[in-house]
Structure 1
C-alpha cells in the first residue's frame, strides 16, 4: 500500500449499521470512545449518483472527528481500496435505500 492507510469502520447508529471509510482511527482521548477522522467519500462527477454516499456525505461531510462509543463499533478493517459505503438495517441486514424524491401530481 502506498500513502496513508485506509480503514473501513462499521458501527451501530440509531438501529442502523453504518460503513464509513477514513484515513485515521485511534483510541479516543475521551475514555471509552474511538476517534475516526479524515473521512473519505466518493466524489462523482457525472450522471451516476449513489444516494447512500450522498446521504453519508450530507450527514458527516463537515465532520472533522467522529467520537464513536466503543460499544457501538462493530469492526475496524484496514483495506487496500475504498468500496461502496453502506447503511443497513441492524435487524435484517438489508440496505437502507434513500429513495429519490417523487414528483407530486397536481390535484
Structure 2
C-alpha cells in the first residue's frame, strides 16, 4: 500500500443499521442516484480479540468488487490518513431513513 493511494471512510444506512467501511474508490458511478464504492480495505487482525461486526461485514462483502449505495442513504464520506475498524452499528428505533426525491419540479 502506497501512501499516495487515497483512503476513504464511508458511512451509510442499510436495513436499520449504520455501516462504516474503508475503501480506496468512491465515485458518483454510472447509475443515477447511487454512490459507487469499491476496493474495500479490511483490518488484518494481529490480536486474538475479533470484532463480530467487522467479521460480519467481511462476510457480507466477501465476493463484492464494488457496491452501489443509494445517494440518500449516505451519511458521510471522509478522506482519511489512517484506517480504522469497519463496523456495523444498530440504529435507534427512533431513527428512520426515508428516501427523498432527487428532483422535485417547481409548482407554478
> Which runs of 5 or more structure 2 residues have no equivalent in the other structure?
94-108
Deviations 1:54-85 (A, max 9, x none): 11100012110110000010100000111122
* Match runs of 1:35-46 below 5 Å: 35-45=36-46
Q: Which SS does the other structure have where 1:48 is aligned? A: coil
Q: How many residues align?
A: 92
1:65 maps to what in 2?
A: 66
2:98 maps to what in 1?
A: none
- Larger deviation, residues 13-22 vs 39-48: 39-48
After superposition, the CA RMSD in angstroms is 1.6
Cα distance in 1 between the residues matched to 2:81 and 2:48:
27
* Match runs of 1:88-103 below 5 Å: 88-91=89-92
How far residue 88 of structure 1 moved from its aligned partner, in angstroms, is 1.1
Cα distance in 1 between the residues matched to 2:73 and 2:67:
12
